[in-house]
Amino acid sequence: MPSTHTDVETRIHQLSASVINKIAAGEVIERPASVVKELLENSVDALATRIEVDIEQGGAELIRIVDDGEGIHPDDIELSIASHATSKISDADDLFSVQTMGFRGEALASISEVSQFRLRTKQHGETVGVELEVQGGILKEPKACGCPEGTQIEVRQLFCNTPVRRKFLKTQGTEFGHISEQFTRVALANPNLHMVLRHNGKTVYELPATHRLIERLELFYGSELAQNLIWVEAEHEGTRLWGYVAHPSQSKSTRKGQYLFLNGRWIQDRSLQHALGEGYRGLVMVGRHPVAFLFLDVNPSFIDVNVHPTKSEVRFQDSQVLYRLMLSTLRNKFLAMDLDSKLTVDRNEGEGSGPSAEPKEMQRELVSWAKTRLDEYKKHGSLFEAVDKLAGPADAHSTGEQQSELSSTESLREGEGGESSKLGGVTHLDSPEGMEHPASAAAEIRAMQVHDCYLVVETTEGITVIDQHALHERIMYEQLKRRLLSGGVEIQKLLMPITVELSSREASTLLDQTELLAELGLLIQEFGGSTIALTGYPTLLSKADPRTLLRDIVELLESSSKKLDRRDLIDELLQMMSCKAAIKAGQRLTFEEMESLLAQRHLCDDHHHCPHGRPTALKLTRSELDRQFGRLG
């Protein structure tokens, strides 16, 4: 039976230059950040000493990059936007001696094909510049123009003639976060450049040129991280490794804090990332990743940078040499150092957000109160009888003598119930507001704490071993969720905001979720640059360190492997916030604190599991105990 296809459909034909460029754009120009990367690399190759980047609407409306580099010769202006036209290489052999950032000749052709593109350039010593415009792939005649020495490129309405691509762009905050990351990579690789980044007319980074990488790292990531960076340097057979790695205490939940540069180019390489992780083995917790800013200087003839359109992946002639160099450098450095974590003062002692009384005085008051309680236990001669007296009636509303007995510690209690407040090494757990200690709680108070981690409780059926952190995490989670569903997460407003230094990408990620975080009781706003100001937080979390909390929220938002809907995202944030606010393993509890925790256990919808699904308790029956000890009769 003859084919139903026409001759035209089955004939091979050559694609037009426009279609070719649109296809190439799909490989090279994924999003606005891809444009910024390509143009920044061109400016670096042009030997610029100053680069200014202006972005509007996350790059969807405008990307403008201005440099003071060598400029483009007027006779080459049209070739600059032609496919595979380049001044960097001449033949295939040159690919193995490339020392420039760009060389493929695809970037400007691809960008100008899918945008409203304008290029102005003037070489040093020239009296007039030249301007070139391309409107969605349609070239206009070049013309003379007045402009400073160097090159200025404007990219407006990216993907204007490929609406499907434009439709898939994310929010401007998300897109700008990616742009900021590309800017960061180039700025870290070239600290000798004066670089400026603006978004919607606001300066995000103004980076003066410097010969000290650490100064640039501090501007991007803050003084806390900079003070915990360790210099490393080594050389083997002409290959040099140098840069900074962070103290193990600065680990992250993702590898986004790892920056590897090869001959000045940011790269991704699984082998080197594995070597970095092995260098920290035993120093960071499982599931955490080290922070590093490392540079490799390698003979260009030993590497192939032409294996990926964006040149982010490379091929090494002998990757094992680099693997061993990185691993041995880190191991030798760490072995020669004292890596003990530094003790930090509790936030409430220095920032004025907690009680105003001196911590030592509070601790003495709490110790005195605890001693009174212990004396009463001894007077009754039975711990069980003492507990009955302390628990009082089922409604647990103390009056008279009991109320005055508790008043001595009233000043120690802050905020609402269910929270954990660390004070001089002692944690106090208040009962949830409006919740009663059930009478059944009195039947479990024969409890003891072991390893400052587990509560062993005697029950009528046997014994129960409870994970104190997992249980309190479940209590906090249900309280936060209950408040959220009722539309009333109580917020502690701050007279002085708490500032948190983040990377620009992290700040953009966080600010993208401002409204959602406000629903959870976390009030944030821009403070300048990539610093975020926390102006309020849930009273239930008043003892969680706010800076750590915000950084962990950023990591959660960035590490989500799939796009979460609003409900799932809120639930994950609630789980994480509960974990941060809960008492920790290794935290010594007083008897009264154990009593409060066990009482709240009975008020949870599911006290058997923490929010992450781990069991909160394990039971061992009396019959199982008898069997294990041979009491069979």
| Residues 419 and 382 occupy one common structural domain | yes
- Mean pLDDT score, 68-75: 91
Band (54; pLDDT cuts 50, 70, 90): very high
Pairwise CA distance, residues 560 & 569, whole Å = 9
Q: Which residues contact 232 (CB under 8 A, 6 or more apart)?
A: 241, 242, 243, 244, 245, 294, 329, 330, 333
User: Is 155 among the domain residues?
Assistant: yes
At which of 160, 188, 208 does a domain end?
208
Q: Which residues contact 120 (CB under 8 A, 6 or more apart)?
A: 129, 130, 131, 132, 145, 147, 151, 152, 153
Q: Is the pTM of this model over 0.85?
A: no
Among 550, 428, 415, 411, residue whose Cα is nearest residue 483: 415
User: Is 58 among the domain residues?
Assistant: yes
At which of 208, 238, 262 does a domain end?
208
Pairwise CA distance, residues 154 & 134, whole Å = 11
Pairwise CA distance, residues 201 & 208, whole Å = 19
| Residues 266 and 173 occupy one common structural domain | no
Pairwise CA distance, residues 365 & 263, whole Å = 62
For the ranges 32-36, 312-316, 392-396, which has the lowest average pLDDT?
Answer: 392-396
Q: Could you tell me if residue 392 is left (phi over 0), alpha (psi between -120 and 50 degrees) or otherwise beta?
A: left
Split into its structural domains, the chain has a count of 3
| Residues 427 and 535 occupy one common structural domain | yes
- pLDDT at 76 exceeding the cut of 90: no
The pLDDT of residue 315: 80
Which of the pair, 18 or 127, is modelled with greater confidence?
127
Give per-residue pLDDT as tens, 474-513: 998 888 888 888 877 888 898 899 999 888 888 888 898 8
Q: Strands 265-267, 426-429: parallel, antiparallel or unpaired by DSSP?
A: unpaired
| Residues 198 and 260 occupy one common structural domain | no
The pLDDT of residue 441: 44
Domain that holds residue 252: 215-335
User: Is 316 among the domain residues?
Assistant: yes
Which of the pair, 588 or 89, is modelled with greater confidence?
588
For the ranges 98-112, 296-310, 616-630, which has the lowest average pLDDT?
Answer: 98-112
> What is the residue-wise DSSP string for 132-158?
EEEETTEEPPPEEE---SEEEEEEEST
| Residues 188 and 57 occupy one common structural domain | yes
Which CATH number characterizes residue 233's domain?
3.30.230.10
| Residues 352 and 285 occupy one common structural domain | no
The pLDDT of residue 283: 80
User: What phi and psi values does residue 265 have, to the nearest 5 degrees?
Assistant: -110, 130
